[in-house]
Amino acid sequence: MMLILILLPVAFLLPPGAGAGEIIGGWEAKPHSRPYMACLQIQCKEKMHMCGGLLVSKNFVLTAAHCNGDEITVTLGAHNIREWEQSQQKISVHHRIPHRQYNETIWNNDIMLLQLTERAKLIRWVGTIALPRAGKRVKPGTMCSIAGWGCTSTESESTSARLQKVNVVVMPDAACSRKPNGYYRSYNSSTMMCVGDPKTGKDSWKGDSEGPLVCGKTAQGVVSWGPPTPPGVYTRVSTFIPWIRATMRRLQP
């Protein structure tokens, strides 16, 4: 069955906070091969939804701003999120810090840091991921990967219990920005990345939101938004390194 890892608003573009993403054209990841993956359970008013994130230090998780809510619990060290696993660590969020210039209308600056109430225990199943150098861009054509617990098909609303992954290619900005009047009219190349070859159909989908785009061993992007078919749009992490570092220093005990 084809799998997807995109973050969309409903069938075309998911509204902010609509889900955690989907992996299309992928497969089940090797258990605990991505120890930096975080699963976020978000309580927003009377509704509960899920997002993905990545552990960037012992007490900070990086995710998308549209995944904000009234209360967030982070699960680390998970492979099957519907079962209790000895590897899992559940930690509540102390501070939610969305980017001050996040625009939920056009999804610009769609990035958020979560400060955990306690430090994660870095063990075999739980670890941090490296961040890129500030302003360092990934070259178009680079093969990267994305992962998440989202839907595995655009035709299905059910999500995967086990972590899924898929390889995707970084596209030139023109692949998104050349259609200013269509789905990509809000595309901003300074804060966003265009990812996923439409010829392969591999991308992220509802439920994978905020799942990391990993190139080599570095987190280069966070799932943000896009249409039902690739390319999808990811927050460009390298643009926000100064903000990430400054925020973590300010809140670090």
Give the residue numbers marked as catalytic. 66, 110, 209
Q: What is the DSSP string of 112-124?
A: EEEEESS----BT
**Number of Cβ within a 10 Å radius of residue 36:** 21
Terminal alpha carbon distance of the chain: 46
Residues 6+ apart with CB under 8 A from 243: 99, 111
Is residue 38 within 8 A of residue 58, CB to CB? The reply is no
Q: How far apart are alpha carbons 71 and 12 in whole angstroms? A: 27
Strand partners, 166: 146
State the Cα torsion 59-63-67-68 to the nearest 10°: 40
Q: What is the DSSP string of 179-220?
A: -TTTTTTT--TTTEEEE--TTTT-EEETT-TT-EEEETTEEE
Q: Which tokens belong to 149?
A: 């617990």
